[in-house]
Structure 1
Amino acid sequence: MNRFDVIIIGGSYAGLSAAMALGRSLRNVLVIDSGLPCNRFTPHSHNFITHDGAVPKDIADKARLQVLAYPTVEFFSGRAISACNGADGYQIQVEGGVSYMARKLVLATGVRDLLPDIPGFAESWGKTLIHCPYCHGYEFRGKKTGIMVNGEKTLHLASLVNNLTDNVTILTNGNADFSEEHRAKLVSRGISIEQEKVVSIEQVNGDIHGVTLTDGRSLEFEALYAAPSFEQHSGIYNDLGCELTESGHIKVDQFQQTPVSGVFACGDCAGMLRSVAYAVATGNIAGAMVNHQMVQEDF
């Protein structure tokens, strides 16, 4: 049985950030990664200082090289299958049947977007069909923009996008599900509201030209925002007895610790902000707090 001080499940930005903090503290660390980061569909990453406009994979590859330069950090390419709390710590089984043990765990497992079954959506996702005005909005400033959103998120997302362009249409993809007060606010800002369902997104190699609605009309757009639902990328959190928040994220405190002793979580599996900068920041906190906890136990 291979034993480590810490096992980190997820080797993208959050997991690698945690691994660096722990490697620099001379902790024996195993990073387990399946190689499916959530932002793998987007060509460029923005709003991360020193890496603005970089290819996401290039950021991760450079980070991995730097982290693995620390001799106490190891990397396993594969998927964690299950986890359990043993007498001497936590046991993680990976594909192939091998098991590893650790005193502490860091979950940096990410989330999986549940894309709607609309032709053209998946092909455009992360390119010109985007989720975050902070991550991608500047590149589409002033463009004719649609927002596929309904319910409580509508006013929040519309206000952020309207700050970047004054040519905005809300696509509720069905009957609008927000208050008359919100509707009046949107209309007062010159924002159109379209309630017909979207049957397809017209695009070429991910570049959006518009949408087709159920009544046969076509609306032209240069960019679309969407806020699809998501699920946890891994069920490991459930094996360990971790809780989810109402929004579907792993519940953590300000130090990234879950209610399960010795288990931490970071990145977008544990928080609503989905950016490289946020993942790196929370990973750094998690790594530092794991080391702090071990120091307090051992000193």
Structure 2
Amino acid sequence: MIRSEFTVVGGSYAGLSAALQLARARREVTVIDAGQRRNRWVDEAGGTSHGFLSRDGVPPGELASIARDQLLRYPNVRWLSGMADDARPCDDGRFSLRVGTSTVLSDRVVIATGVRDELPAVAGLAERWGRSVFHCPYCHGHEMEAGQIGIIASSEMARHHAIMLSDWGTPTLFLNGAFHPSEDDLANFARRGTRVETTRIVRIDGVADIILEDGRRMSMRGLFTQPRTHMASPIAAQLGCVLAEGPTGAFIQVDSMQQTSVPNVFACGDAARAAGNVALAVADGAMAGVSAHRSTMI
């Protein structure tokens, strides 16, 4: 049995940020991490992270590694590698978390487990995820070099990409049978210079070439789509946290201080946002860590 004042579940950007605040408050912190960062595909592709102040263009794995090394310099931090697959509230107000054969008993929990992306079922898309297929224009739009951008619709959320992405290049929206734009939608797309293609996609080839059912090949600088998101861990539900439904999937409902519906359980990062990025995850994590610490004084 491992006893800990604070346990942060998830050692990516939000979790590391939360743990750092608690470590610097001289509190005992345990971080549980399974090494499943949402953007690990970018590392495998040799890509970089963008939009994070002072670290623009740095590989995301390098960001996480530096943050972990800095966190572990604090002697009051314990790191457990593994998946927290079972979490339960205890009768005394504490929380029990199982990690492999170990059990952590904690006074307070910060959930930073992130989300899992469900990609559209288009042949060749998953292999290019994080390489030439993306979901966030603010993270990857600038690297399109103002060229041809393909938008593969997977839901009505594609209309937002269709309107936004003309600021980063020349977009073509491939409906692929995912939704039917209204007349107002089509007018807005035209106003923004976005072309609409109704022929279905057979597969993605090369770097970002779209092969259509009629045999046409349309070469793109890069592709964007709208993955469906799922909670990457069941522990929020196991602890009884209320979930909210966002435009792409469920996320943990929190207040402005990252407090969940369960006392002494906090949440941050993509698991507690309708949409996010590295910078927002770090900010949310800092707030969650501060809030968890302040809760000991109430």
Give the TM-score normalised by the residue count of structure 1: 0.93
1:136–1:10 Cα change, 3 Å: same
1:255–1:196 Cα change, 3 Å: same
**Alignment partner for residue 203 of structure 2, among 179, 200, 203?**
200
| 2:225 aligned residue | 226
Residue segments in structure 2 that go unaligned for 5+ positions in a row:
none
| 1:109 aligned residue | 113
Q: 1:205-224, CA deviations, whole angstroms, 9 ceiling, x for partnerless residues?
A: xx32x111223322221211
Matched pairs, number: 290
| 2:97 aligned residue | 92
Pairwise mapping of residues 273-288 of structure 1 onto structure 2 (< 5 A)?
A: 273-288=275-290
Any idea what SS the aligned residue of 1:112 has?
strand
Residue segments in structure 1 that go unaligned for 5+ positions in a row:
none
| 1:143 aligned residue | 147
Pairwise mapping of residues 174-185 of structure 1 onto structure 2 (< 5 A)?
A: 174=177, 176-185=179-188
Q: How far is the alpha carbon of 1:150 from its aligned partner? A: 5.3
For 1:175 and 1:276, the matched residues in 2 are separated by 29
Of stretches 176-185 and 259-268 in structure 1, the one that deviates more from structure 2 is 176-185
Q: 1:228-283, CA deviations, whole angstroms, 9 ceiling, x for partnerless residues?
A: 11111111111111122111111111111111111111000111332110110000
**Alignment partner for residue 153 of structure 1, among 153, 157, 179?**
157
For 2:191 and 2:51, the matched residues in 1 are separated by 30
> In structure 1, what residue type is equivalent to 2:187?
A
| 2:18 aligned residue | 18
Q: 1:97-130, CA deviations, whole angstroms, 9 ceiling, x for partnerless residues?
A: 2111111100000001112332221121112111
For 1:49 and 1:113, the matched residues in 2 are separated by 25
Off by >4 Å, runs of 4+ in structure 1:
none
Q: How far is the alpha carbon of 1:141 from its aligned partner? A: 3.1
**Alignment partner for residue 187 of structure 1, among 169, 178, 190?**
190
Q: Does 1:242 align with 2:241?
A: yes
> In structure 2, what residue type is equivalent to 1:86?
C
1:101–1:90 Cα change, 3 Å: same
**Alignment partner for residue 270 of structure 2, among 254, 258, 268?**
268
Any idea what SS the aligned residue of 1:18 has?
helix
* Overall identity of the aligned pairs, in %: 40
Q: 1:49-87, CA deviations, whole angstroms, 9 ceiling, x for partnerless residues?
A: 111100111100000011111111110111111000002
For 1:225 and 1:50, the matched residues in 2 are separated by 26
